Structure formats: structure tokens, C-alpha cells
A and B are shown apart, each in its own frame.
Chain A
Amino acid sequence: TQLLEQSPQFLSIQEGENLTVYCNSSSVFSSLQWYRQEPGEGPVLLVTVVTGGEVKKLKRLTFQFGDARKDSSLHITAAQPGDTGLYLCAGGKTSYDKVIFGPGTSLSVIP
């Protein structure tokens, strides 16, 4: 069973602070995706990481894929209230494999 774990489960920070959330597994994934979900809506894709050790930047968000392709992290610099939401990681072992999600990290950025 491929299982994705995320930490922390909840995070409440002040505007301007930095934070990192983690996505871990004992399984190797062909890729991992990060999504953000706002209340009442479906998840929206932020980024895909494919290569072990890969680092991708999306404005103030930095994503990293572990060398062994079993884990990933999301770092937000100078968080803003608009970053508030549920951050989900997801992945599959092959292109045609099932895609599973982690339980998510609920982020609240206080103005």
C-alpha cells in the first residue's frame, strides 16, 4: 500500500513568516504533485516534481523532490493571507497507476 503522510496537519502563522510543509512516503513515486484547495472548491494544481532532487520555484513557493523520490517539501517565504488553504500532496508510481493523496496541511495566515 502506497501511503502519503503530510506534516504538520495544521499550521497557523502570522503574515510575513516563513513555513515549510512536508510530504513523506516509504514508496517511490514517478512524480509528486502539490495542490491547494480553498473551502467549497476542488483542489488546484500548483506544481509537479518529477526528477529526484528537483527544485521548482513558483513566486514565493519553493518545492523540492527528495533524491530518492519518496518525499517532497513545500516552503513558503513571507506568507500572505492569500496563501491560506489546504495544501495537498499527491502521487502515483507510474503513468497509469492510481493517484493517491496525503491528508493535507491546513494553513492559516493571520494578517
Chain B
Amino acid sequence: NAGVTQTPKFQVLKTGQSMTLQCAQDMNHEYMSWYRQDPGMGLRLIHYSVGAGITDQGEVPNGYNVSRSTTEDFPLRLLSAAPSQTSVYFCASQRVMTGAHEQFFGPGTRLTVL
């Protein structure tokens, strides 16, 4: 099992460009999330999905779109990149267990917006 994979590992964008960060998991987990992590800070939730066709906003959703057409994939789209979106992005997946949220994380995508 590969677990949670993310591509690309590094990306540099110019202000106004759009791009999609890819995330895939092979554990058949219903629940997937996207977080961003800025220096000196913990992880902030961008969007999450509790199953195919279902998505919801997290703490910092502005400027990002998601969709969940399959259980395996949960791409994150930046519509018009801004310097404030420079960050490390982590995707995570978890099985929906009663009362627990044990997440498995990908290696991250390091994004710089100039």
C-alpha cells in the first residue's frame, strides 16, 4: 500500500495562476482532508470530505475549491494564486470510526506564490 500520495512535492506559481494539487489514497478511507501549515503554526483545515460527492468547508476555505468524485482522489484547486497561499499543503485520509479521527498524512506539497 502506498498510503496517501501527493503531487507535486514542490511548486512555484506566479500571482493569478491556477493549479491543482493532487491527493490519492489506497486505503479505501471515506474521509479525506486538506490542511495548510505555515511557519510556526499548526495545521489549518481548508476543506474536507466524508465520502464521494460530499465536501464541506474547513477553517480557511477562501481561494480553494475541492471535489470528490471517487473514494480514492481528493484534488485541491487554487483558482487564482495569491502570495498569501504560500504554504505547505497536507492531504490526509481516515476511516470513519465511531468517535475517532485517526488520520494518515501525505508527504506534503510545498507551494510558493510569487
Residues of A participating in the B interface, judged by any CB pair closer than 8 Å? 6, 30-31, 33, 40-45, 48, 50, 88, 90-92, 94-96, 98-104
Q: Which of B64-72, B76-84, B101-109 makes up part of the contact surface?
A: B101-109
Q: Bound complex: CA of A90 vs CA of B42, how far in Å? A: 10
Determine whether B1 belongs to the interface, using a CB cutoff of 8 Å to chain A.
no
Find A33's partner among B56, B101, B108 (CB 8 Å cutoff): B101
- A/B pair count, beta carbons within 8 Å: 74
A99, B45: Cβ atoms closer than 8 Å: yes
CB <8 Å contact, B102 and A101:
no
**Chain B residues whose C-beta falls within 8 Å of the C-beta of A45 in the assembled complex:** 102-104
Decide if B103 touches A33 in the complex (CB within 8 Å): yes
CB distance from B47 to the nearest CB of A (A): 9
Decide: B105 and A31 in contact? CB cutoff 8 A.
no
Task: Tell me whether B41 is interfacial, beta carbon within 8 Å.
Answer: yes
Cβ of B2 < 8 Å from any Cβ of A? no
Which size class do B's interface residues fall under? 20 to 34
**Which residue of A90, A96, A103, A104 is within 8 Å of B50 (Cβ)?**
A96
Question: B86-114: which residues lie under 8 A (CB-CB) from chain A?
Answer: 90, 92, 94, 96-108
**Beyond A45-B103, A95-B98, 8 additional pairs, beta carbon < 8 A:** A33-B101, A42-B92, A90-B101, A98-B56, A99-B33, A100-B59, A101-B35, A104-B41
Q: How far is the CA of A20 from the CA of B92 in the complex (A)?
A: 27
Q: How far is the CA of A50 from the CA of B102 in the complex (A)?
A: 11
Closest 4 CB pairs of A and B: A42-B105, A30-B99, A103-B42, A101-B43
A42 touching B106 in the complex, CB below 8 Å, given contacts A100-B59, A103-B41:
yes
Whole-angstrom distance from the CB of A88 to the nearest CB of chain B? 6
The reply on B75 being an interface residue by CB < 8 A is: no
Asked if B48 lies at the interface with its beta carbon under 8 angstroms from chain A, I say yes
Inter-chain CA distance A6–B40, complex, in Å, is 13
- Which residues on A sit within 8 Å (CB–CB) of B35? 101
- B42–A88 CB distance below 8 A: yes
